[in-house]
Amino acid sequence: MNRNLVGIDYLVFVIYFLIVASYGIWIYRRKKKSVTDTKDFFLAEGSLTWWAIGASLIASNISAEQFIGMSGDGFFAGIAVAAYEWIAAIALIIIAIWFIPVYLKNKIYTMPQFLKTRYNETVALIMAIFWLLLYIFVNLTSILYLGALAIDGLVGGQHLHSIMIGLAIFALLITLGGMKVIGFTDVIQVGVLIIGGLATSYLALTVVAKSFGLGSSALAGFNAMLKDAPEHFHMIFHKPTPAASQLDVNKYLELPGIAMYVAGQWIVNLNYWGCNQYITQRALGANLQTARTGIIFAGFLKLLMPVIVMLPGIAAFVLYKNGHLQLEGGSKDYAYSAVLGFLPAGLKGLSIAALTAAIVSSLAGKVNSISTIFTLDIYKKYFNRDADEQKMVWTGRIAVVIAMIVGILFTWKDLLGIGGKGGFTFIQQYTGFISPGVLAMFLLGMFWKRTTGAAAVAGLITGFVLCVFFNEYAPQLLGHETWLYTAFPTRVDHNGALLTVWQIPFLICMGLAFGFAMLVMIGISLGGPVINPKAFALDKEMFTIKPSTLVLIIITLTILMALYVKFW
């Protein structure tokens, strides 16, 4: 296993950089006349094709935390972690059919604007500030830090800060050109991501085959993994019994079997893909058919993602288990980089290019969303109501640069402790608690005309408070086994001492919080008018889908069904 890069690796990476940069400059110059228009700069209104929207959604979604974190979870739990990607495919279909028509019919361009239009300005301002803080201090910092850390590990270490600055500059060059440049360069980024990711997975399988004396067939390697680690190829974990091992308990806490499909997975995916400026922004500037096709195309691409980001982790587990692979401290977080060490010259460069593509596209999309919310929902409304189009575009560009500088400052010495907590844990800790209330607020706001602004605030607070309560305090105060939940023991490190702590699976906590938030919102709204004056006008025609779109939906669901039948 060799992590040193050679000339051909650097050449592959430089070619990737030049292609993306050149294409971005070409797109910018081609669209330069309209770059002073806010809807063009922030939304690329009417310019992104369906395939550009779909590719951009995937490129923005997949980043270092997926490559490192999901490979690590593949090492730890196996194919069950693919639920996050495969349920996302269904969530994207739901959003394409039911969410996007509501946004486009009501000319919604930002998520705070949705809240102002449907509820009131107070709710919108609260969430605008919250989303800005979340995007800058949680998402942007974690993408930047984990991305730089991952690439630094692949090139031998000692270059963390240089890589961090390089990623930030690369992302800024793309972002300053506006959403058109981001969207169309993401097509190249996702192509590099998929080709490089598939090449890595293929080579990982051939390494497994060689380790078992089966030649160099990737299929033989996959079959060897099925036989050597059958427990890593089950989608559903059974609820642990009192006699279950701690390992089985820990897996269930992370992926609580069939129970997570009742609510938790849907909350995570519908909130992320449907109520998130960072994601929905790609489709908000298109017409309905283009937006729908692009989103469903992204759902189809989602089916591939576990092969790219999870399969190398399972391969690493099998190799590690049989003594063919060394991991630093046996940590699952090093699974992906350890597998990359087996790659031959040239493919290492391609894999680093794929990882860079994922990181840069995510950074570009994130700072563009930060810029959009700040400019349209805060600067224009509260600081300069008379700002013209050009002034707002330049304000957006300044916001992009400032956000990136703040991100670098807070990740330079990891002031937020991202490395200590782990990327997934860090992001989940600060986003997962708010997701139930936000989703309840959006769902009832879209589809129930009676929902009020007071109910929205109450639902948001209820979801947050109860998610924290069930996650942190319920087992100690209400007991380990109730009609609502079952808590399980796990060992945690507390200042060098291992303590037993009882926990409810976090996805179950989210489901419970969401259910109660919905009840609170419904109860409060029943005290208001039968039809809220700010309710959206809906009609059946909005939700009618064309035959070509239906075909793509059926193909996606058929493949998904086959995967679950095979690996249940």
**DSSP per-residue codes, 56-107:** HHHHHH--HIIIIIIHHHHHHT-GGGGHHHHHHHHHHHHIIIIIHHHHHHTT
- The pair phi, psi for residue 473, each rounded to 5°, is -125, -25
The model's pLDDT over 410-427, given as tens digits with 9 standing for 90+, comes to 887 776 666 555 555 556
Q: What is the largest CA-CA distance in the chain?
A: 72
What is the per-residue pLDDT across 104-122, written as a single tens digit (0 to 9) for each?
888 888 888 899 999 988 8
The neighbouring-strand residues paired with 499 are: 492
The answer to whether residue 206 is domain-embedded is yes
C-alpha to C-alpha distances, 566 to 205, 224, 233, 330, 560, nearest whole angstrom? 19, 17, 9, 30, 10
Higher local confidence (pLDDT), 93 or 187: 93
126, part of any domain: yes
More confident position, 521 or 14: 521
Q: What is the pLDDT of residue 508?
A: 92
- Position 528 scores a pLDDT of 87
| Structural domains of the chain, count | 1
Does residue 279 register a pLDDT over 70? yes
Query: Is 234 domain-assigned?
Result: no
* Residue 435 or residue 29, greater confidence: 435
pLDDT tens-digit series, residues 116-148: 999 988 888 888 888 888 888 888 888 888 788
**Domain for residue 29, yes or no?**
yes
SS3 449: coil
For 352-380, the pLDDT digits (tens) are: 787 787 788 888 888 888 888 888 889 88
Task: Over range 196-214, report the average pLDDT.
Answer: 87
Q: pLDDT digits over 291-350, tens only?
A: 999 999 999 999 988 888 889 889 988 888 888 887 766 667 677 777 877 777 777 777
What is the per-residue pLDDT for 391? 86
Q: 217: burial class by Cβ within 10 Å (0-12, 13-18, 19+)?
A: middle
- The yes-or-no verdict on residue 440 having pLDDT over 90 is yes
Letter string b/e over residues 292-312, b meaning 16 or more CB atoms within 10 A of that residue's CB = bbbbbbbbbbbbebbbbbbbb
Residue 301 sits in a domain whose CATH number is 1.20.1730.10
pLDDT tier for residue 50 given thresholds of 50, 70 and 90: confident
Residues of the domain holding 58: 7-211+285-423
pLDDT given for residue 475 in this prediction: 92
Exposure on the CB side of residue 442, measured as CA atoms within 13 A: 28
Average pLDDT value for residue range 207-229:
89
The count of C-alpha atoms lying within 13 angstroms of the C-alpha of 263, restricted to the half-sphere facing its C-beta, is 17
Q: In angstroms, rounded to a whole number, what is the distance separating the alpha carbons of residues 568 and 566?
A: 6
Please, which pLDDT band fits residue 88 given cuts at 50, 70 and 90?
Answer: very high
* Whole-number average pLDDT of the chain: 83
Residue corresponding to tokens 């790609």: 282
- The whole-angstrom separation of Cα 294 and Cα 99 is 14
Structural element, H or E, at residue 490: strand 488-494
Residue 141 in contact with residue 410, Cβ under 8 Å?
yes
Answer yes or no: is 546 within a domain: no
- Section 489-499 average pLDDT: 67
Residue 518 has pLDDT above 90, yes or no: yes
Residue 95 placed within a domain: yes
Q: Is the pLDDT of residue 97 over 90?
A: yes
The encoded tokens of residue 396 equal 């957006």
For residue 445, pLDDT over 60 is answered with: yes
Compute the residue count for the chain.
568
Report pLDDT for 266.
92
What's the mean pLDDT in 541-559? Answer: 91
